[in-house]
Each structure stands twice: as structure tokens, then as C-alpha cells.
A and B are shown apart, each in its own frame.
Chain A
Amino acid sequence: MHYFWVPFLPMLGIIVPLLTNKLSRSACTLATALLPALALGLILLDLPAIFAGESFSKSVDWIPQLGLSLSFRLDGLAALFSILILGIGLLVILYARYYLSEKDHMGRFYCYLIMFMTAMLGIVMSNNMLQLWLYWELTSISSFLLIGFWSHNSDARKGARMALTITGAGGLALLAGIILLGQVVGSYELDVVLNSAELVKQSPYYIAILSLFLIGAFTKSAQFPFHFWLPHAMAAPTPVSAYLHSATMVKAGIFLLARFYPVLAGTEMWFVVVSLTGLLTLLLGAYTALFKHDLKGLLAYSTISHLGLIVLLLGLNTELAAIAAIFHIMNHAVFKASLFMAAGIIDHESGSRDMRKLNGLWKYMPITATLAMVASASMAGVPLLNGFLSKEMFFTETLEQSILGAMSWLIPVLATIAGAFSVAYSLRFIHDVFFNGEPKGLTKTPHEPPRYMRVPVEILVTICLLVGIFPNYTIGPLLESTSLAVLNHALPEYSLAIWHGFNLPLLMSALAIVGGVAIYLNRKHLFKFAGMFPDIDAKLVFEGCIQACVTWAQKITIKLENGSLQRYAFCLCFFALLLIAPPLFDLDTTRGSMPGTPINGAVMVAAILIIAGSLATLIWSHYRLIALLMLSLVGLVVSITFAYFSAPDLALTQLSVEIVTVILLLLALYFFPQQTPTSKSRPSHFVRDLTIASLIGCIIGSICFALMTHPLDSISAFFLANAKAGGGGTNVVNVILVDFRGFDTFGEITVLGIAALGIHKVIARMRLSMRTKDYDGRLWAKEKYPVLLLVVSQSLLPLFLLISAYIFMRGHNLPGGGFIAGLITSIALIQQYLAHGVDWMAKRVSISYHYMIAIGLAIAGFTGLGSWFVERPFLTSWFEYVSLPWIGKFELASALMFDLGVYFTVIGATLLILASLGKLTTKERLTVGER
């Protein structure tokens, strides 16, 4: 089948106008029309099969897990819309060739137009709901670009923004509806969804799904109360209005209702909401259209009214009404597109769209006038034209319903009134523009348009006549196959005849025409009446609403984000509490089934020290030095705890990190006030923070206790079993670090290096205040460096280095390794800094610590890369036992090289941090000393 390529041809065509823009206008037009014409040809090739009642679908999986696939279908409904989209699209391309002036960028216009065409084709041919939605949003975006094409015009910009906001918001509602529907059905493929009507209607989500779909459809098809964007979208160039606002964009909502008719229609809610919305829109549009002085404004409201009519028909819940709705979709597209084009010609050739100025144009453009008059007559529902046929069907169906119970007779009456108004505004369009005296105040003398600008109108008007006179031969098969697709089962009997005999619908038509003429004749009184109401500009109201939303949002934002980091930290803790607490309530008891370990004195002492230390840190937190000392006490006990509970590696690491941290914080404290001001904390904040901290503490403690006492299935057995065999080491912790989880470790030392470099950069341009005295008013000590330390430090250095080398070498088999050895070496070097100062060290340590980080990372990285040479994944380890005379058998492992990288990175990072900070203090003190 050819149809699968149809959506892709225009997609390809989007760039054609941009490429051919440099050529002549006609060449650009021809090139642009080529691919859509080809697509139309493909559709027509498949048409016989469609008429035979077949439907096709084909899908290519994209992300099947999410229900996303590239999936297209062609059935009667898709075929009808594709023909409308491509056919009218081609006519609009031709029309725009003459409409656009030399100043307009024609390539860009065509580009947007074809993009829109692609999107519309995508909507009508999609067989996947998510894909349909994607195209749906694409129509909103491309229509935004088209409506705002004359972007120098403020009305065009505002109209475009309004259309985008309304249809875009509707699109989001539709997405929610689609996802709900997809969840209920279990598939996003239309084939499946359309055959799950019972499932959907019985689902508790039916009301939500229907409401969301209706919001999507009503916003797109300009139904009350979302209708106001359509008149403002008339700021678009007229070819856009002829295309988007007659046949395509606004019909997308109707298409949606028709497409999902088998699934969503047939319930009470559908019946009431859809039909009443349609009725209201029908009346409102027809009434308002009469009072519009702008030609396109009249047509816009008339479009709203006719869309309302179609929606009302779809809402009537009878099969014949649905068929009538489809028939009117076609007819309205044809006559409204031709009317918009005629309005565009009038505007183009006379320089105005104001019906108070345009009078008596019959003399100047008789052919255009004739065409417009035939199309208007079709809009009014005059016999022998296509509009008459579907309007007659509409009247018939309004007589068949019983929406309002005993008051149901109101519907046909209101329909007739709306019909009368539509006759009246059609009459106004004809009489005011083409007759009614002479033109007033036009800037140029009206004349007939270029020959080919009229061709699209001629074609469309001919269709109006042909369908109106020979409905069965022209439109019959397409209507039948489309109705089949919408109803999803065998069609009821219906007749397309022009003459059904004298009956009630015919009487209604006659009444509407007579009433319409009467309304038009008495229009002066009506205009006076309508003039008494204040003129509400929807644009202002809309902008006002948007402004109000923005102000409101800003107020909330300011309220939430008051700029206080303290407040944010509190919120973070508060919401963390809300999230972690609830699961604990589901746990029966905190204590699990595991037997506890008996308590002993040593543990009690450690616990008391930890609690006392933490409490002391808290209480004396204002005296910063004391708090720091208490903190280091806690840290020491923590490292002892690690040692006690069989984690020697952790104990060693914690101990060395503890030393480095305390030195760092002491250095930092030099630049901070020694005490925190006490009176600054508000009592309410104090209570608030204490509460939240205690609650989180309780929760963490409970989780910790529950975790330790509940049995746990760990994957650690694997590491214990494979450490020796797979990693060649007996210290399992180290083997995990450098071998099993080597890639993690590689990431971690990278982070360490980045943090150190970041700190270096933050320090680099810091300007700190200098103090000549300490906070108690004493001068700094005269001795720069403690004598005792000066004496021992140099002799201690080799010992330190020896120990770290030993710790490093044995790390694979006994507690130790790169991290710990690196930290020990760092401490040894920091000690030298403490004893001798930065300048002394700078003379002796020639390597920059930046490079050391880089070297460390490079060693680790290249060790990992090495495994590629033996065609293994990154960081695969290798080890071998080697025997050397005198030394004996020892192990050579690639993990050792990796650990060396860790070693260097740790040294580089730690010393870069501390030396950078230390340099700062030394500089300060030197300047102090000089003074």
C-alpha cells in the first residue's frame, strides 16, 4: 500500500520552499506543490480500496516498552481528511502565490504552511495515540508561526500567542486524556483502542478521559467558552485563514471527536455535554457574526457557528446525525475556504475588509462577486447547493432527539433561529459588499484579481454546485466509507436526495430563509440593540488573565523563595522527613528477628563518649574552637568504633582523614570569628529546628536499628568467595575497591581531584580581612613555628614515608591500600608544612599538586585502558605470582598499579587543598609581621 509514505512526502517538502526561494515565485510555488500533489495522488490510488470498505494500518516499532511506535492508518475518515488537507492545501498554495506581496518572505511562508500540512496529515493518519498527540502539538506550533507570519503587526503577534496558549493548553489536557485512555485499554494503538468501547465506558476513569478529550477538542475547534481565539487569529494572512480556519486546524478537534466516536460516544455525558456545547456555540457564533463589520471577522464567527453545528450533530448520539456531521465537515470546508479566498481577493484588490466601506463591488469584480455569492448561498443553506443538503439533514436530526426531555422541541426551534441568523449574515456578506450603493473611502479602485488567483475559488465553488446537485455521484462513496470508519459498524439507511417531499425539515429551511431575510431587513434595529452592550475585547481580557496568573505565580514564588538559605535547608529537611517517615509506620516492630550482640563495658564507654561529644559540640557550638575539639573527639571514637567492629581499613582511613579535617578546619577558623553571635537566633526557629532535627534523628536511629536486627540477604558472599580467586588478594575490602568496583573508585578519585581543583580556584582570588591581634586582643606569638615540632618533624618524615609504603604494599592482602597510604603520606607532608612553613616547603617540593592529581588519575586510567590491549573490558584486573631469588614469591597485580593511581590522587588532592589554604595564612601573617 502507498499510504504509508503520504505523511512523509510533505515532511520532506518542508525544506523545498526554502531551497527554491531564490528562483522565481512561480517556480517556488510549483516546487512546493509537487510533493503534496504526489501525496494526494497516492491517497487517490488507495481510494478504490477504501470505497470497498477496507481500512489499512501499518506500524514500525520505535520504543515498544512505552507504547511508542511509528504507526499510520488509512480508513474512510483519514482518507476524507487527507483529501481535504492536501486538496485545499494545494489550492491555498496556488492562491498564496498571488496573495503574498513582494515584501513577504514567500519561502518561509510556504515552509510553515507545508509544516502545518504535515502535522495535520499526521493527526488524521496516525494509528498511535501518542504519535497523534505529537502531530497535534505540531499543528499548534505551526499555526502559531502562520498566524504570526506578519510579525511586525502587534495584532498578529497577540492573536498568535492567544491561539498557541489556548490550543496548546488543550493539547496538554488531551495528552493527559490519551495517557489515561492508553492505561485503561492497555495499548496506544488506535486499532486496539477503537475496539475497546465497552472496556472504556465501564472504566471508572471514563468521565476523566472524556472531559480531557473534550477540552482538547473544544479548544482546537473553537467551541464555547474557548471560541475567542479564532476571531483574533484572523490577523493571519488570508491564505492561512482559508486553510487553517475553514478546512484543517479547527476541524482537528472535530476530527478527534469523530475518530474516538466509537469509543467515547453513546453515553449520557457525551450526549449532554457535546450537544449542548455545540448548540450554544452554534447560536452564539451565528448571532455575533451578523454584527461584525470586518469581512474575515464575519467569516470567523460563522466558522465558529458551523463548527458548533457539527459538534451538536456529533453529540446527538444517533448514527444518522454522525453521518450528517461528516457531510457537513466536507461541505463547510469547501464553501468556507472559497469564501475566505474571496474575502482575501476583495481585501487584496480594494485595500479594505470593512463592510461599511466596501459597497457596490459588483461593478468592479463581477466574476469574483458571482463566485462569492454562490458560496455564501451555500453557507446560508440555499437549495441546489451542498450547504443545503447537510443543513437539511441537520434539521431532520434535531427533530429526532430528546436531550431536554419534555423541552426537547426547543432544539429544532433554536436550530431554525441559528439558521435564520446564518441566512442573515450570508445576505449581509452578499448585499453589503457587492451592492448597497457605492464604495466609500477606499484607497484604491477595486478590480478583478489575476486570473490564477481566482482559479482555487472557481474550483471550490464548482464543487459546491456539483455536490449540491448530484450528491450521490460526487460525494456518495466517500461519505459512505467515512461514516463506516466513524461508526465502526454497518451503516443505517440514509438518503442523499435533494428532494424529500414536503416535510418538517423543508419547512424549517424555508422558515430560516424567510426569517434570515427579515432579520437582514431590520438590521438597523438589531445593530442599535447590539450596540448597547459594552464591546468586550477578548484580547484584553485574555492578556489580563495571563498577567494575573503571572503576578499570582510570582507572589507564591516570592513567598516560598524568600532568599534565606536557612529556610531552604529547613524545607529540605522537612520534606525529607515527610518522605522517609511513612514507610516506617508499615513496619510491625523495630526489632527484627536477628539475635542481638551482648553489650559490654567498652562499647558503653564509647557510646557515652560519642553522645557526650556530640552534645558538647552542640552546646558549645558558639565557641567554635571548643566545638571543633569536641567534634574531633567524636571523630576519634568513630574510628575506634570501626576498629572494634572488624573494619581496620575504615579505622585507618577515618583516623587519617580526621587529622586532615581538623587541621583544615583549624586553618579555616583563623579567618572566621572565634565565636558565633548568640542573640541572633530567633526562639521560634530554635524550637522548630530542634524538633525537626530530633525527629530525623529518631527516624535514622530507628532505621539503623531495624536494619541491624532484620535478616538481610547480602551479595557479599560473592566477594568473599572470589576475592582470592578472581582478584588475587585476601583483603576483601581492598579487592572490592581496586578490582570488583574499580570503576566506582576511579569515579571517586576523579571527584576528589575535581573538588581539590575547585577549592584551589575558589581560594585563588579570595581577599580576606587581616587581623593583627587575636579575638581576645592579644598579639600573635612571635615564633612562627613551634620549636619542638621543628626538631622532630624532619626525623619523623622518613619513618612516615616508610610506614605509608608498607601500608600501601600490603594493602591487597592486609588492611591498608592506596587511600590510607595516600592519607598517611599527606599527613607527613602537612606536618612539614606546619613545622617549616610554605616557603620552606616550596623550595624542596618541586612538583605542583595539580600535576600530582593528574598523574594519579592518568596512572589509574591507563591501568584500566591496559586491559583493552588484551581485548578485555575497561579495568579488568590481571595478577601473577613471581619468584625472585632472595626475596621469594610475591604477587604482581594490575590492581597494584591502579592503587598507585589512587595513592597519588589522594596525596595531590589533600595537599592541594591544605597547601592552598596554608599559603593564604602564611601570607597574612607575613604581612602582619612586616607591620
Chain B
Amino acid sequence: MELVYAVCVGFMSACGIFLMLRGHTFTLVIGLTLLSYAVNLFLFASGGLTIGAPAVLNSSENYADPLPQALVLTAIVIGFAMTAFAVILAMRGRADLGSDHVDGIEPFDPLSEEKS
């Protein structure tokens, strides 16, 4: 199960990073969100995978590691604030610059030049 979990985390990170390296802001925000999922899962896994043993006292015999959970809980909320900030910034960039490319202008494209 650990292997499957790790593959999922790695795959999500790869997709997230690839999307973050794209040139348009909305894609970047999507990538950022995907990457933050992956990071949360990654952090969560550092306590090991435990089934049916939540860290609530007297509910079972052994407990899942509560520390990564506490860390990830705040990470999720902060991650939301960050995503929100990024997307609003992207909107502002589009409003002020008239383009939703990260560099403010669409890069020169030799292919489209040939077509026209």
C-alpha cells in the first residue's frame, strides 16, 4: 500500500509542477493546487499509514501519529489562502496588463507567425 501511496504522491507532484511551469496564470494556479494536495499527502505520510485508529483517545488501542495531522490541518487552510491570493493576483495581472501570461505579454511565437 505504501508503494501505491508514494506513486500517487509522486505523480501528483509531477503533474502539479508541470502545470506550474506553464505560461498562463490560471493553469499555474491549478498546478499549485494540485501540488499542495501532493505536499499535504506527503507530509501526512511521514507519520506512517494507519487504518482505523484515529488519534482520539479511548477510541482504539493504538493511535495514528497526531503530529503530522495537526501540521497538515493548518497547511490545508494556509494552502487555501495561498491559492486564493495567487488566483486574485493573476486576475489583477490580467486586469492591469491585459494578458494572462505570467510574463505579462504573450511570448513571440514563430509558428503562429508562419500560419498568418
Report which A residues bind B (CB closer than 8 A). 563-566, 569-570, 573, 594, 596-600, 603-604, 607, 610-611, 614-615, 617-618, 621, 624, 627-628, 631, 634-635, 638, 641-642, 644-650, 653-654, 657, 660-661, 664-665, 668-669, 671-673, 676-677, 679-681, 689-690, 692-694, 696-705, 707-709, 712, 714-716, 719-720, 723-724, 730-733, 736-737, 741, 744-745, 748, 751-752, 755-756, 758-759, 762-763, 766-769, 813-815, 819, 823, 906, 909-910, 913, 917
Contacts and interface: CB of A to CB of B under 8 A. Distances in A.
A638 B48 CA distance: 16
Nearest to A595: B2
Given A672-B26, A696-B17, A731 B55 contact: yes
A742 to B, nearest CB: 11
Contacts of A814: 56
B15 to A, nearest CB: 4
Interface centre among A569, A614, A715 (most CB of B within 10 A): A614
Given A646-B52, A815-B56, A598 B33 contact: no
A649 B10 contact: no
Given A646-B52, A712-B48, 15 more contacts: A566-B22, A600-B1, A624-B30, A645-B64, A650-B72, A657-B79, A668-B88, A668-B91, A669-B26, A671-B94, A681-B22, A697-B10, A705-B3, A715-B67, A768-B95
A901 to B, nearest CB: 14
Contacts of A910: 80
30 contacts: A565-B102, A569-B20, A569-B21, A594-B48, A597-B49, A614-B11, A614-B15, A615-B15, A621-B30, A638-B37, A638-B41, A646-B50, A646-B55, A653-B77, A664-B83, A665-B30, A669-B26, A672-B94, A679-B112, A696-B17, A697-B13, A704-B10, A705-B2, A714-B65, A731-B57, A748-B74, A759-B85, A766-B95, A768-B94, A769-B95
Contact of B1 (A596, A610, A635): A596
Summarize B's interface: helix, strand, loop or mixed: helix
Contacts of B57: 720, 723-724, 730-732
B47 A714 contact: yes
Contact of B46 (A603, A642, A650, A712): A712
Given A614-B11, A704-B6, A705-B3, A733 B73 contact: yes
A768 B91 contact: yes
A389 B88 CA distance: 82
B40 A759 contact: no
B12 A610 contact: yes
B76 A653 contact: yes
A635 B26 CA distance: 17
A649 B1 contact: no
Contacts of B17: 573, 692-693, 696-697
A702 B44 contact: no
User: Residue among A627, A756, A813 with the most chain B CB within 10 A?
Assistant: A627
A691 B83 CA distance: 25
B74 A745 contact: yes
A708 B49 contact: yes
B70 A741 contact: yes
Given A617-B34, A647-B44, A906 B91 contact: no
Contact of A570 (B21, B29, B84): B21
Shortest beta-carbon contacts, A-B, top 10: A701-B10, A697-B14, A705-B6, A693-B18, A755-B81, A730-B57, A646-B64, A732-B66, A736-B70, A693-B17
A598 B1 contact: yes
Given A573-B21, A631-B33, A704-B45, A644 B51 contact: yes
Interface of B: 1-27, 29-30, 33-34, 37-38, 40-42, 44-59, 63-67, 69-70, 72-74, 76-85, 87-92, 94-96, 100, 102-103, 106-107, 109, 111-112
Contact of B55 (A638, A733, A741, A748): A733
Contacts, number: 319
Contacts of B2: 596-597, 705, 708-709
B50 to A, nearest CB: 5
| Residue among B19, B52, B70 with max Cβ neighbours from chain A (10 Å) | B70
A701 B6 contact: yes
A762 B55 contact: no
Contacts of B67: 714-716, 719, 736
A646 B8 CA distance: 18
Contacts of B91: 668, 671-672, 763, 766, 768
Contacts of B18: 618, 689-690, 693-694
Contacts of A597: 1-2, 49, 51
B61 to A, nearest CB: 12
Contacts of A759: 84-85, 88
Nearest to A638: B37
B14 A693 contact: yes
Given A708-B45, A917-B88, A679 B11 contact: no
Given A650-B72, A653-B73, A733-B66, A681 B51 contact: no
B95 A566 contact: no
Given A697-B10, A702-B10, A732 B37 contact: no
Nearest to A674: B26
A766 B82 contact: no
Contact of B7 (A607, A641, A719): A607
B81 A733 contact: no
Nearest to B3: A705
Contacts of B25: 672
Contacts of B10: 697-702, 704
A650 B44 contact: yes
Contacts of A766: 91-92, 95
A855 B95 CA distance: 33
A731 B56 contact: yes
Contact of B66 (A638, A677, A696, A720): A720
Nearest to B27: A621
A693 B15 contact: yes
Nearest to A596: B2
Given A680-B107, A681-B22, A733-B69, A763 B88 contact: yes
A648 to B, nearest CB: 5
A594 to B, nearest CB: 8
Contacts of A631: 30, 33-34
Given A627-B30, A693-B18, A737-B70, A732 B55 contact: yes
A621 B13 contact: no
A909 B81 contact: yes
A634 B35 CA distance: 11
A441 to B, nearest CB: 65
B63 to A, nearest CB: 6
B27 A676 contact: yes
A621 B20 contact: no
A192 to B, nearest CB: 46
Contacts of A611: 7-8, 11
Nearest to A744: B74
A167 B13 CA distance: 51
Contacts of A610: 8, 11-12
B21 A692 contact: yes
A88 to B, nearest CB: 62
A755 B54 contact: no
Nearest to A738: B70
Contacts of A769: 95
A703 B7 CA distance: 11
A648 B56 CA distance: 10
A570 B115 CA distance: 29
Given A621-B30, A645-B64, A680 B106 contact: yes
B51 A645 contact: yes
Contact of A762 (B22, B72, B79, B89): B89
Given A679-B112, A680-B23, A716-B67, A755 B85 contact: yes
Contact of B54 (A614, A646, A676, A677): A646
Contact of B50 (A635, A645, A650): A645
Contacts of A642: 44
A676 B9 contact: no
A755 B82 contact: yes
